[in-house]
Amino acid sequence: MRRCPRRDPTPAHRVPADPWSGRRRYAQDVSAFVRYTLARLGFFLVAFVVVGLVSSIWLEWNAVTGLWVALIALAISAVASLVLLRGMRDEVAVALKARADKMHDRFEAARSAEDVD
C-alpha cells in the first residue's frame, strides 16, 4: 500500500525563514527564568545552611528553630537576591515583556479577524 506524502497545511508565504527561531527564543526566555529561579533557590539554600549552622551553636534544633531558621534565611536570601541578581531579574523582565507583547499582538490580530464580517 502506497501512502501519499503529507502536505504542509501552512502556505509557503507564511512559513518563517527559520522555523526554529520561535522555539529558540522561547528556550532563551525560559532559560533566563529558570536560571534566575535556580539562583534564588541557591541563595536560599546557602542562607539556610549558614543560619542553621550559626543557630545550632546556641540553640537546640527542633521544629520551631527550623521554622525560624527558614524565615530568617528567606529574608536574607530575598535581600541578597534583590541586590545581587539585578541583572538577571532585568533580563527575565525584558523576556517576559516581549513574550507578553507577542501574545497580545496575536490576540488582537485574532480579535480583529473575527470582527471583520
Between 104 and 26, the higher pLDDT residue: 104
Whether 10 maps to a domain, the answer reads no
Angstrom distance (rounded) from CA 47 to CA 73: 5
- Alpha helices (H) in the chain, listed in sequence order: 21-58, 63-84, 86-115
Range of the domain at 68: 28-115
Q: Which residues contact 89 (CB under 8 A, 6 or more apart)?
A: 36, 81
Whether 9 maps to a domain, the answer reads no
Residue 84 has a pLDDT of 94
User: Whose grid coordinates read 533566563?
Assistant: 32
Whether 78 maps to a domain, the answer reads yes
**Residue 28 Cα distances to 31, 73, 97, 98, angstroms:** 5, 30, 14, 12
Is pLDDT of 114 > 80?
no
Whether 7 maps to a domain, the answer reads no
Count of domains in the chain? 1
Between 71 and 15, the higher pLDDT residue: 71
Whether 16 maps to a domain, the answer reads no
Buried b (16+ CB within 10 A) or exposed e, 58-72: eeeeeeeeeeebeeb
For residue 10, give the C-alpha cell: 501552512
Among 43, 52, 53, 50, smallest CA distance to 74 is for 43
Residue 90 has a pLDDT of 92
Contact 74, 37 (CB under 8 A): no
Residue 111 has a pLDDT of 84
